[in-house]
Amino acid sequence: MSAERVLFVGAGRQQRRAIVRARELGLHVVAVDRNPNAPGLSEADVAEVVDFLDIEAVVRVARDARVRGVLTISSDRAVPVVAAVAEALELPGIGSETAHVMTHKVAMRRRLAEHGVSQPRFAAARTLGGARAALRRVGLPGVLKPADSAGQRGVFLLESAGDLERHLHAALAESPTGEVIVERYHEGLEVNTLVVMRGGEPALVMVSDRLRPKGRGFGAALTHLYPSTLFGPALEAVEGLAAAAPRALGLRDAVVYAQLLSSGAGSALVVEVAARTPAGQQVEAALYGAGVDLVEVVLRQAVGEDVPDGLLQPRLSQPLAVYFLTAEPGTLPTGRVSRVSGLDRVLAAPGVVQADVYLVEGEVIRPVQRDGDRRGYVIAVADTNLEALDRAEKAARLLEVEVEEP
């Protein structure tokens, strides 16, 4: 890959480490982001302040820079943009039609249903009357989501018809196309699966548990545990579904992140599937837990290079926990931030391999409702995943956050 030019669509906090890694691999990095202070821009060889939703502008940047590949890291909104740029410049990509299916929950559910992939009952709506009818078809309890948003924005648990009427407007407001999806809610253990598709064939990288809170923030992960606590038929069902879902969705060469729900021995359901390297420190989890560099994988695919078996073979199996810094039920207080200190103590705590905090003075910490309410993380390793979780939580408590009462 040495000396190839690649375009990163988005250069935020999640992209910065990947941009650094790309340059370590000898690539020439061009990056676009509408935020002139995006941290990844300062790491790129060429930085352009461009709103990446302006596809024509991004295509111009890519063409002028003569890039050999285009990609995004952790951004669902950028997936259709990457596909469109790749098509315009005849570069490797998943294609705009597949990108639409991967970023529109209704289209994804329908495609999975066509192929008989196990998933919750669902129905789409654009109006209150349509949403009421959708809930009657799906049944209670249900989940209300924008059809084309991400990061758990506008996601609500429905325990009554009244919940639907209270939350529909907020869910529709998060959808650029003004559409929502209502799905049946199922109890069970939610898991993260990381799969690399090569020529339409899946290679499973890792399975980890995705631990969530009860109540309003039920969709946002508080902790990732590796390896998963699943075993036997339950684990086999998850692994089989992780391979079947991307095949059904038409993915041939891509890093795939699928959230699945294990609801008993031999039974699993698709929650969501993304055709991108995931957010939520899953890239780091794969690196520290399995020794697999997903950034190198996606870079190779972006420039059309083969991904060798050796790059996907887990080189280790290191139990770890990714513990997110949140308010209730997490360790952070609620209120307006007046001072933050102690990250150095967190990083020096036993077992901690990486940690960061995103809090700045003056912002308000609220109880966790969506992914954006996670204000940092701690990754810890140990002999078992539960010991790693204990280490990560103890380290998180070393962070000192002072707030003014809200």
Cα–Cα distance measured from residue 368 to residue 127, given in angstroms and rounded to the nearest whole number: 28
Tell me the C-alpha distance between 220 and 272, whole Å: 13
Task: Return the pLDDT at 226.
Answer: 97
pTM for this one?
0.93
The strand pairing partners of 273, in sequence order, are 258
**285-313: average pLDDT:** 96
Whether 123 contacts 136, CB under 8 Å: no
pLDDT attached to residue 151? 65
- Mean pLDDT, residues 376-405: 96
176 neighbors 153 (Cβ within 8 angstroms)? no
Give the separation between CA 123 and CA 211, rounded to whole angstroms: 26
Using a 10 angstrom Cβ sphere, with 0-12 exposed, 13-18 middle and 19 or more buried, the burial of residue 404 is exposed
Q: 223-226 and 201-211 as β-strands: parallel, antiparallel, unpaired? A: antiparallel
Question: pLDDT of 103-132, one tens digit each?
Answer: 999 999 999 999 999 999 999 999 999 999
pLDDT tens for 181-217 read: 999 999 999 999 999 999 999 999 999 999 988 877 7
**pLDDT at position 88:** 97
Tokens 């991004």, residue located: 58
Q: Can you tell me the mean pLDDT for 95-108?
A: 96
Distance (Å, whole) CA 35 – CA 24: 24
Cβ neighbours of residue 67 closer than 8 Å, sequence gap 6 or more:
5, 6, 7, 30, 89, 91
Comparing 90 with 277, the larger pLDDT belongs to 90
Q: How far apart are CA 24 and CA 18, in angstroms?
A: 10
Domains along the sequence of the chain with CATH: 5-91 (3.40.50.20), 121-184 (3.30.1490.20), 189-317 (3.30.470.20), 321-404 (3.30.470.20)
pLDDT for the residue numbered 220: 84
Percent of the chain with pLDDT over 90: 86
Q: What are phi and psi of 206, to 5 degrees?
A: -165, 160
Residue 264's pLDDT band (cuts 50, 70, 90): confident
pLDDT tens-digit profile of 210-240?
998 887 778 888 999 999 999 999 999 999 9
